[in-house]
């Protein structure tokens, strides 16, 4: 590995960790929505679902990653 490759590898690791964290948050919010709905609190359930959707939404349709993936 060259010195020039290290920032790319670290960036990809950070992106993968962030994606995993956001995905887990999405799952947790969906679970909380299920619990709220089962408890009869539809408004809270919908709030959790809306929050869950935000965890996995893209900032814009034109977002791209210009950093090449390491070999
Ligand atoms: Fe988040």
Q: Residue 8's pLDDT band (boundaries 50, 70, 90)?
A: confident
- How many Å lie between the centroid of ligand 1 and the Cα of residue 71? 29
- The parent domain of residue 38 ranges over 31-56
In a domain, 36, yes or no: yes
In a domain, 5, yes or no: no
Number of domains in the chain: 1
In a domain, 69, yes or no: no
- How many Å lie between the centroid of ligand 1 and the Cα of residue 26? 8
In order of 33, 34, 52, the CA distances from 27 in angstroms are 10, 11, 7
Task: Record the tokens describing residue 36, joined without a space.
Answer: 């709220």
| Alpha-carbon span 20 to 13, nearest angstrom | 11
Q: What pLDDT is stored for residue 60 in this prediction? A: 59
In a domain, 37, yes or no: yes
Instruction: Provide the sign of the torsion angle of the four alpha carbons 15, 18, 22, 28, taken in this order.
Output: positive
In a domain, 44, yes or no: yes
| Alpha-carbon span 31 to 54, nearest angstrom | 15
Residues 23-54 have pLDDT tens digits of 999 999 999 999 999 999 999 999 999 999 99
Q: What pLDDT is stored for residue 7 in this prediction? A: 81
């Amino acid at each position: 590995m060259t010195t020039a490759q290290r920032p790319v590898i670290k960036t990809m690791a950070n992106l993968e960790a962030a994606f995993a964290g956001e995905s887990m948050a999405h799952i947790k919010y969906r679970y909380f929505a299920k619990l709220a709905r089962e408890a009869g609190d539809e408004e809270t359930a919908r709030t959790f679902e809306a929050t869950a959707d935000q965890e996995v939404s893209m900032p814009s349709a034109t977002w791209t990653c210009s950093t090449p993936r390491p070999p």
